Amino acid sequence: MSSMLTHAIRNIPASSAWAARVFARSLSCSSQLQAAAVQPKSKKTLAKSGVKNIVVVEGVRIPFLQSGTSYADLMPHDLARAALHVPRDVVDYIVYGTVIQEVKTSNVAREAALGAGFSDKTPAHTVTMACISSNQAMTTGVGMIAAGQCDVVVAGGVELMSDVPIRHSRKMRKTMLTLNRAKTLGQKLSLISKIRPDYFTPELPAVAEFSTSETMGHSADRLAAAFAISRLEQDEYALRSHTLAKKAQDGGLLLDVVPFKVPGKDTVTKDNGIRPSSMEQMGKLKPAFVKPYGTVTAANSSFLTDGASAILLMSEEKALAMGYKPKAYLRDFVYVSQDPKDQLLLGPTYATPKVLEKAGLTMADIDVFEFHEAFAGQILANLKAMDSDWFAQNYMGRKSKVGAPPLEKFNNWGGSLSLGHPFGATGCRLVITAAHRLKKEGGQYGLVAACAAGGQGHAMIVELYPQ
């Protein structure tokens, strides 16, 4: 498998009790990670004169579950508040990311905070930026702390794909709104008489681009074809993701996962989408989007996922004053945008060199890579593009390639293909996983990157806190 992946990369084609337990871990290094930790390499710190140091004190998430399973009867704010197990009286602000909003709780951050028992004096707002929504939540928190507006911010994300809004057709909505304003019985009957059977056809939500009317799966298929990523290579990468995730889960490495007692059901303790299969079984699946010749299938795509995550951010001074031992610094970050049709999912390719240059680092300086895996074809196409002088010169305005991350440092505890991808919650998972891996693997710098609908992307440098 490793030879196939190397070939793919290098050849360019043309509860409060929980709170006590979770945050006790922040007062000292996690015992599990401490036992296995390697002495970090000695590198320069990325601290900047006159700029506040922002630290990650802790990060948690409830188990990520396949949609339609144990979270199916809940609402998004139920999941979000389950991840809000932090010291409530010290939080200055809460910001959450989400993609498909429940209309009853459009500001899900506020409803989650109230539901979790936070003071009604704690402000909260919700952001959306497709699959990098919680990334945006985190960097919004970083900005607020850096500007001196807050000392303690909770940033997170949530998605509930088990129950998404289904609307009446636009014709029906217009008729109903007009009917609501009708004053006489005659006016109401006249409007009702104009309703036709097709008015009752519901509008189902689709994971599609508004500007292109194309699903991300179609874009992934075209991207894989453009970069000559075979079905076999995609299946091999997906199997790698599930195998590494299973190993990490069984080895107790996914320390950000906290149990969640689902009302009326059992307590959920672990992600349920991790399912290592075989190449033979994966090869039997039919193309999911471009039929019959596409290469993207259910086996090599991230699945519809329910879940929520949260990260506690503080200024370094505040964290130390409260007696916490931070896990990591959040350093430089960038957002990028590109063509939402042909380059929809290439955000990491464009964001990575920019964030490295901003931080004064090279690919060789990075010890841990955590990239969002929307599709196996998407992630392999990004790795190919990053390792191509031709792509750098013709599409990125660069003289040379940035280089592909070495696989031995890349998504070593699984990724979105196996752990799941609740759109608004994935960014926080990437960051806290990078912090935990840096501690365990003896590194200092991590690079987190993700693509997003709309042809956007994000990358951030995570620096291990001195041990």
pLDDT in tens, 365-393: 999 999 999 999 999 999 999 999 999 99
The pLDDT > 70 percentage for the chain reads 91
Mean pLDDT within 87-111: 94
DSSP-based three-state secondary structure for 208:
strand
Contact present, 79 and 16 (Cβ < 8 Å): no
150 is catalytic: no
Residue 332 CA: distances (Å) to CA of 111, 353, 401:
31, 12, 21
**Strand 124-127 versus strand 368-371 pairing type:** unpaired
Q: Mark 25-50 as b/e (b = at least 16 C-beta within 10 Å).
A: bbeebbebbeeebeebeeeeebeeee
Mean pLDDT within 79-106: 93
Whether pLDDT at 153 is above 50: yes
Mean pLDDT within 223-231: 96
Question: Given this model, what pLDDT does residue 212 score?
Answer: 81
Mean pLDDT within 349-367: 98
Torsion sign across C-alpha atoms 357, 338, 448, 387:
negative
Token pair 């990591």 is found at: 328
Catalytic hit among 29, 150, 428, 451: 451
Question: Given this model, what pLDDT does residue 165 score?
Answer: 85
Q: How confident is the model at residue 205 (pLDDT cuts 50, 70, 90)?
A: confident
Q: How confident is the model at residue 42 (pLDDT cuts 50, 70, 90)?
A: low
pLDDT in tens, 55-73: 999 999 999 999 999 999 9
The pLDDT > 90 percentage for the chain reads 82
For residues 126 and 112, what is the distance between their CA atoms, to the nearest angstrom? 11
**Strand 305-315 versus strand 260-261 pairing type:** unpaired
131 is catalytic: yes
pLDDT in tens, 244-282: 999 999 999 999 999 999 999 999 999 999 999 999 999
> How far from the centroid of its chain's Cα atoms is residue 163's Cα?
19
pLDDT in tens, 301-316: 999 999 999 999 999 9
Question: Given this model, what pLDDT does residue 35 score?
Answer: 43
Domains and CATH numbers, the chain: 54-165+218-464 (3.40.47.10), 167-203 (no CATH)
Whether pLDDT at 9 is above 50: no
Contact present, 404 and 5 (Cβ < 8 Å): no
Q: How confident is the model at residue 211 (pLDDT cuts 50, 70, 90)?
A: confident
Whether pLDDT at 27 is above 50: no
For residues 139 and 146, what is the distance between their CA atoms, to the nearest angstrom? 10
Question: Given this model, what pLDDT does residue 13 score?
Answer: 41
- Using a 10 angstrom Cβ sphere, with 0-12 exposed, 13-18 middle and 19 or more buried, the burial of residue 116 is buried
pLDDT in tens, 118-131: 999 999 999 999 99
Mean pLDDT within 166-179: 90
Residue 25 CA: distances (Å) to CA of 32, 84, 262, 327, 447:
10, 16, 24, 10, 24
The vertex-422 CA angle with 269 and 251, nearest 5°, equals: 40
Mean pLDDT within 436-458: 97
Backbone angles phi, psi at 232, to 5 degrees: -65, -45
Question: Given this model, what pLDDT does residue 89 score?
Answer: 87
> Which of these, 141, 50, 138, 55, lies nearest to 317 by C-alpha position?
55
Question: Given this model, what pLDDT does residue 213 score?
Answer: 76
The mean pLDDT value of the chain amounts to 91
> Which of these, 428, 242, 188, 445, lies nearest to 329 by C-alpha position?
445
Question: Given this model, what pLDDT does residue 167 score?
Answer: 85
**Which ranges of 363-464 would DSSP assign to H, the alpha helix?**
376-386, 389-395, 416-419, 426-441
Catalytic hit among 29, 131, 150, 428: 131
Residue 196 CA: distances (Å) to CA of 55, 184, 200:
58, 21, 8
381 vs 341 pLDDT, higher one = 381
Beta bridge partners of 225: none
Give the other-Cβ count within 10 Å of 189's Cβ. Answer: 10
Q: How confident is the model at residue 85 (pLDDT cuts 50, 70, 90)?
A: confident
Residue 169 CA: distances (Å) to CA of 14, 57, 212, 315:
44, 46, 20, 48
Whether pLDDT at 112 is above 50: yes
For residues 57 and 314, what is the distance between their CA atoms, to the nearest angstrom? 7
Q: Which amino acid is at 412?
A: N
96 vs 1 pLDDT, higher one = 96
Question: Given this model, what pLDDT does residue 41 score?
Answer: 52
- What is this structure's pTM? 0.90
**Strand 305-315 versus strand 152-160 pairing type:** antiparallel
For residues 153 and 88, what is the distance between their CA atoms, to the nearest angstrom? 11
Residue 407 CA: distances (Å) to CA of 5, 361, 404, 413:
9, 19, 9, 12
For residues 425 and 99, what is the distance between their CA atoms, to the nearest angstrom? 9
Question: Given this model, what pLDDT does residue 257 score?
Answer: 98
DSSP-based three-state secondary structure for 304:
strand
Mean pLDDT within 106-123: 96
Question: Given this model, what pLDDT does residue 208 score?
Answer: 74
pLDDT in tens, 403-423: 999 999 999 999 999 999 999
CB-based contacts of 44: which residues, under 8 Å, 6+ apart? none
